């Protein structure tokens, strides 16, 4: 985010979720005001309406949903721009009221997806515990701040940030069955010049296919391949209710300021009915693309100079 | 499902969800025994373990999640097979205790995603109503069968099937903001010969990319294009925790019994490190693919006969 | 040829060949001085040495050879530039000394290739005539201007221009077995700015393949396809004596001043080790290319403007 | 050539040319009867008519022409089959009447193309010698067997075989300016089962393009690339007199008995209006293709077995 940091940030709430953890990873946002929203749509609409300066929403592999909603909200309506991506490890803690011991836990609450991801740990560590579903992992944690009643949950499977926020004791860490997973979040603002290239950037696009035939997707991808631009994500999305029409949500390596990306984008703009640029921004993992000698900025500049010589007759 | 219909069907529960509605659309399954599961993983594990004969799970555009979980569960572990797809309209009703009038509704409950999809209707029809989140749309409906207490929900936004199941009054139908959306579900069984081709089929695959370079995806897609096979869905999924390695979950038109699909599959098998066949099954929408003259079964048969003549020297 | 017409033109001799006929079709050249050369190499070397201003040489389907020599001479050595193409119908006359009647003809002379192309007519019209080979069709005609001796040829199969030049009687016209064939010639000069685009142009290139693998040629052609540039001729030529290394002599539709051609050329320059531009010039047949909406100059200009807007944040 | 060696061989004459040298390289043909023909067409017609068993004709880089004629004659008319290729070094000798010394040579004769290829040597070794054109290099040699007259040639630039045949003295060897060049010849018979694969084979085809658009050639080549088949020669040829319609004369690595070649051929047969198989035969240079693991016969067999398992439900 260039310039003065925005003061207000929406995010997919409630408080204490992985999305809030993502927002707190961005230094400027960590100092700003935070507005939890009930849905991705609501968070992005708040940006469009100018009520907030940016919104943090999940875009890939989320525990608590939101991904399709994010892709669809970025693909339609007034343009928005991704300015940053954030990776958050998908790790759960078992949190309980202060003073609770693991042996005391008889009822565990959490969002069903979180429970599913910790099933093996639960059956090994708490074989007799009963499970009570909650609307979100954060809601399960928040509920522990109220008065305990007969049969109400003793502990919650939640994000580390939720245990912190609600001052709960962490009885066990990293209780997820598969470690190493991450959820990818994006910070979304209103249209503006993209942040400058860093050498390790991503560009997000939505492209509508020209027609539904066996080679249409291939033609689209040839624009990337012909210019040496690697894709890191592609997802087809049905367009409207028309059967057989598709758009593609695409992440590619590189920045709109890179020649090879610019050429691929211009190629797409020429050959497909609609291309929406959703942003160029630094990769959270800092991985630099392998750019072949044929597709460096220098190669494009040199080719242009060569062409200009030919047009002048200097063979 | 060929042969004797399976007796037991798992599905992503709880009762009264869109997934149960999907299951009830399959005549054989409608007559079978139903086992609601807390997660897609649990439902598919029940199939693998032989506890049920098949499972109904959402695979695209679900209201209440499960899509990434479904794709990932089909991509790894013991092989499973999609044998049928079902489309369910995403339509919500406002359901309440018998005798309730719309004017009486002060508190509405539902899953947050459902609430987000009915926001416009809610603000027009029930501008003063308070919203209380629920774990699922079905849970919101089920809660209305208990005793009403001060401040407890009066109505639920839920699937039509939930109102039926819990004998609730439907105060309003089709209250979703965007009409026409559908969720796609698949019925998943253990490996077996696929159902016979119908002329309007789909095939689902998981393909691992050979290497992460700009043209790798293109090489993969050329196998489809070279054999005239159209894709209807493609989604990249990161493989394990290795950065930059991807698999692709792909639906294509046609049946493994069609020559053009068989050739594309064999081509993929040769050029990529791993191809998992997840099933060939009738399309729920009955749409027949446009097959060019060059890729009919007859064209493949004729080409083979021509080649055999050449090899015999009969030019 | 823009500007003052060149005074001296070399051509593949001798006088009276199809190549001289090609040269005479160019108005400026028709008025200039003509220098017959014994080989294509000699004619092109005369251009390089500055001894002549341009040279007319056959490049496709020639009766009397020269095509491979032309392609190879344009591909190596100091750069030359094709500035014009000329099509000459491949039609033969039977020419004889003034006063000769068809019945008098006992011995026919010509180049063996010409004789081969008129075999059916010869066996029908002159079944008893003996054939005597000549070095060229023009030499056969020229020989008739000398004194007739016992057994020397009475008639020659030659180009119409040879009959004119040597003041011979034409006993029969269009005696070739296959009518409608044409030979393509090019006028070659030293490097200079190409003639301006006419809307019906051709561009000639020599491209060296990056490496000898199954997809290398495909990568090359994708640069044309990605930019909507159609090929009208492609011929592989072995490079030097190294086995398995190839260059390609290519004619494509369009002019280096067209955006789509410029982009394809720059793409080739980036991805292949060597591209030699041999000229952009009006097509002799005046056929305009079918340019799709995606590859007009306007489409490229519009795509560039769109990109500039995106880079400024004006989505 | 399987079976009993043919007794009669046509070739592009006259005697003493490089084509006769090519024919003598084939052991079976060396022992057979030889029929010189005045043109490639005549030689191939003799095969079609059953007058000879096979014909040797030049197909690439010939000194004395015949290449376009060969390509066109193989592309149309009754089918013929290439059964063998032969490479002959393009090397010239200066041959003269027995007893002649180099200093005695005042007049040199040869075909103009041969003279052009020895120009540098001639101007260094015989700066004062006069050049007299001949119909072929062999004719120049043959003429030296007649009586020498005032001003008639003293020596000929010709193939080594011509000096042998006409019992001439070789005054100098390898007098060509560029050493290392070879001409490629093919032995052409009537349709029959191709010779068995040797592991180092070539296949020759004529393919008509489906339509004249920017991507048509690409679609054709994708059939080769998709099956890992490398091209060693491609030449576009205009079809008939229709402007803008092309056929392609193509040599590719491998044998019609190889799975990857068979698949590429069947693919071409399906997607293009016309494919003519002209033969699979051992490469004269013995170079084996680099076959990727994905396109070995074993890979195709394994893929077929995998597909059969899938169709049986054995995932």
Would you call D243 and C65 a contact, using CB atoms and an 8 Å cutoff?
no
**What's the number of CA atoms in the CB half-sphere (13 Å) around residue A311?**
18
CA distance, residue A206 to nearest chain C CA (Å): 13
Residue D1, pLDDT score: 46
Tens digit of each residue's pLDDT (9 = 90 or more) over C138-151: 999 999 998 888 88
End-to-end CA distance of chain B: 46
Q: How far apart are CA C41 and CA D181, in angstroms?
A: 16
Q: How far apart are CA A216 and CA A232, in angstroms?
A: 20
Q: How far apart are CA A235 and CA A228, in angstroms?
A: 20
pTM of the model: 0.87
Portion 266-285 of B in contact with D at CB < 8 A: 266-267, 269-271, 276-277
Q: Decide if D112 touches C, using CB distance below 8 A.
A: yes
Would you call C262 and A307 a contact, using CB atoms and an 8 Å cutoff?
yes
Q: Decide if B159 touches D, using CB distance below 8 A.
A: no
C129: left (phi > 0), else alpha (psi -120 to 50), else beta? beta
Q: Decide if C242 touches D, using CB distance below 8 A.
A: no
Nearest to A214 among B213, B230, B244 (CB): B230
| Residue numbers in A near B222 (CB within 8 A) | 218
CA distance, residue A231 to nearest chain C CA (Å): 18
Helices (H), chain D: 18-25, 27-31, 40-48, 67-75, 112-117, 119-125, 137-143, 160-165, 216-226, 259-271, 297-311
Tens digit of each residue's pLDDT (9 = 90 or more) over B262-298: 999 999 999 888 999 999 999 998 989 889 888 999 9
Of residues D129 and B117, more confidently modeled = D129
Q: Are strands B155-158 and B107-110 parallel, antiparallel or unpaired?
A: parallel
Cα Rg of chain B, angstroms: 23
Least confident window among A86-90, B36-40, B69-73, D61-65: D61-65
Chain A / chain B CB contacts < 8 angstroms: 125
Least confident window among A118-127, C5-14, C39-48: C5-14
Would you call B270 and D313 a contact, using CB atoms and an 8 Å cutoff?
no
Q: Which of A40, A41, A34 is nearest to A16 (CA)?
A: A34
Q: Helix, strand or coil for residue B54?
A: strand
Least confident window among A108-122, C215-229, D234-248: D234-248
Which one of B188, B310, B312 makes the best mutation probe of the D interface by having the most chain D beta carbons within 10 Å? B310
Question: In chain B, which ranges are E strands?
Answer: 8-12, 33-37, 54-60, 81-89, 93-96, 107-110, 130-133, 155-158, 169-172, 182-189, 201-208, 231-238, 246-253, 274-282
Chain C / chain D CB contacts < 8 angstroms: 125
| Token pair listed for B203 | 């095939």
With beta carbons less than 8 A apart as the criterion, state whether B186 and B282 touch. Answer: no
Q: Decide if C128 touches A, using CB distance below 8 A.
A: no
DSSP D9-29: EEEESSTTSHHHHHHHHSHHH
DSSP D39-57: SHHHHHHHHHTTSSSEEEE
Mean pLDDT of chain C: 90
Q: Decide if D307 touches B, using CB distance below 8 A.
A: yes
| Token pair listed for D192 | 């029959």
In chain D, the largest separation of any two C-alpha atoms, in whole Å, equals 90
| Residue numbers in B near D306 (CB within 8 A) | 266, 269
Q: Decide if D287 touches B, using CB distance below 8 A.
A: no
Residue A240, pLDDT score: 62
**The pLDDT of residue C14 is above 90:** no
Q: Decide if D7 touches C, using CB distance below 8 A.
A: no
Residue C62, pLDDT score: 63
Locate the chain C residue with the closest alpha carbon to A79. Answer: C315
Mean pLDDT of chain D: 90
Q: For residue A150, give Cα distances in angstroms to B144, C22, C262, C266, D126.
A: 22, 105, 78, 75, 118
Q: For residue C222, give Cα distances in angstroms to A226, A246, C24, C219.
A: 7, 24, 39, 5
Would you call C306 and A257 a contact, using CB atoms and an 8 Å cutoff?
no
| Token pair listed for D294 | 């994905």
User: Which sign, positive or negative, has the C-alpha torsion B202, B208, B213, B216?
Assistant: negative
With beta carbons less than 8 A apart as the criterion, state whether B252 and D307 touch. Answer: no
Would you call A116 and B236 a contact, using CB atoms and an 8 Å cutoff?
no
A61: which residues sit within 8 A by CB, 6+ positions away?
A67, A90, A181, A182, A183, A184, B68, B238
End-to-end CA distance of chain D: 46
A199: left (phi > 0), else alpha (psi -120 to 50), else beta? left
Q: Enter the DSSP assignment of A296.
A: S
| Token pair listed for D26 | 């084939």
Cα Rg of chain D, angstroms: 23
Q: Decide if C87 touches D, using CB distance below 8 A.
A: no
Q: Enter the DSSP assignment of B79.
A: -
Mean pLDDT throughout D89-115?
93
Helices (H), B37-95: 40-48, 67-75
Q: What does the pLDDT profile of chain A (315 residues) look like in tens digits? A: 455 555 899 998 889 999 999 999 999 898 999 999 988 889 999 999 999 999 999 988 666 555 777 888 899 899 999 999 999 998 999 999 999 999 999 999 998 888 888 989 999 999 999 999 898 899 999 999 988 888 899 999 999 999 999 999 999 999 998 877 788 999 999 999 999 999 999 999 999 887 666 678 888 888 898 888 998 888 888 776 555 577 899 999 999 999 999 999 999 999 888 999 999 999 998 989 889 898 999 999 999 999 999 999 998
Q: Decide if A234 touches C, using CB distance below 8 A.
A: no
Q: Are strands C155-158 and C107-110 parallel, antiparallel or unpaired?
A: parallel
CA distance, residue A270 to nearest chain C CA (Å): 5
Burial C203-227 (b: 16+ CB within 10 A, else e): bbbbbbbbebebbbbbbbbbbbbbb
Residue C192, pLDDT score: 96
Q: Decide if C39 touches D, using CB distance below 8 A.
A: yes
Burial D123-139 (b: 16+ CB within 10 A, else e): eeebeebebbbbbbbbb
Q: Decide if B309 touches D, using CB distance below 8 A.
A: no
Q: Helix, strand or coil for residue B88?
A: strand
Q: Decide if A226 touches C, using CB distance below 8 A.
A: yes
Q: Decide if D313 touches B, using CB distance below 8 A.
A: yes
With beta carbons less than 8 A apart as the criterion, state whether B170 and B93 touch. Answer: yes
Would you call D315 and B277 a contact, using CB atoms and an 8 Å cutoff?
yes
Mean pLDDT throughout B76-81?
94
At B1, is the pLDDT very low, low, confident or very high (cuts 50, 70, 90)?
very low
Would you call A225 and B233 a contact, using CB atoms and an 8 Å cutoff?
no
CA distance, residue A314 to nearest chain B CA (Å): 34
Nearest to C191 among A257, A299, A315 (CB): A315
CA distance, residue B102 to nearest chain D CA (Å): 53
Residue D62, pLDDT score: 64
Of residues B256 and A209, more confidently modeled = B256
Chains that touch C (3 or more CB pairs under 8 A): A, D
Q: What percent of chain B has pLDDT over 70?
A: 93
| Residue numbers in D near B296 (CB within 8 A) | none
| Residue numbers in C near A277 (CB within 8 A) | 310, 315
């Amino acid at each position: 985010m260039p310039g003065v940091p925005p003061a207000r940030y929406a995010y997919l709430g409630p408080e204490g979720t992985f999305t809030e953890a993502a927002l707190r990873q961005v230094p400027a946002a960590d100092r700003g005001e935070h507005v939890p929203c009930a849905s991705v749509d609501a968070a992005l609409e708040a940006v469009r309406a100018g009520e907030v300066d940016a919104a943090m929403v999940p875009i890939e592999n989320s525990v608590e949903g939101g991904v399709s909603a994010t892709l669809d909200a970025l693909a339609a309506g007034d343009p928005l721009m991704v300015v940053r991506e954030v990776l958050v490890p998908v790790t759960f803690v078992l949190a309980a009221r202060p003073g609770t011991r693991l042996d005391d836990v008889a009822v565990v609450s959490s969002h069903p997806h979180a429970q599913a991801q910790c099933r093996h740990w639960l059956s090994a560590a708490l074989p007799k515990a009963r499970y009570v579903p909650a609307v979100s992992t954060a809601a399960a944690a928040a509920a522990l701040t109220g008065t305990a009643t007969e049969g109400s949950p003793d502990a919650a499977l939640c994000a580390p940030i939720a245990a912190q926020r609600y001052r709960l004791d962490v009885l066990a860490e990293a209780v997820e069955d598969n470690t190493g997973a991450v959820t990818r979040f994006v910070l979304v603002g209103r249209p503006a010049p993209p942040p400058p290239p860093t050498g390790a950037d991503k560009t997000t696009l939505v492209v509508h296919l020209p027609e539904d035939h066996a080679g249409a997707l291939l033609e689209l991808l040839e624009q990337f391949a012909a210019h040496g631009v690697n894709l890191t994500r592609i997802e087809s999305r049905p367009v409207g209710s028309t059967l057989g029409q598709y758009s593609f949500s695409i992440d590619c390596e590189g920045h709109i300021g890179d020649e090879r990306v610019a050429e691929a984008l211009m190629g797409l703009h020429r050959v497909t009915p609609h291309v929406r640029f959703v942003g160029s921004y630094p990769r959270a993992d800092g991985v630099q693309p392998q750019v072949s000698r044929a597709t460096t900025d220098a190669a494009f500049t040199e080719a242009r100079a060569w062409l200009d010589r030919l047009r002048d007759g200097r063979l």
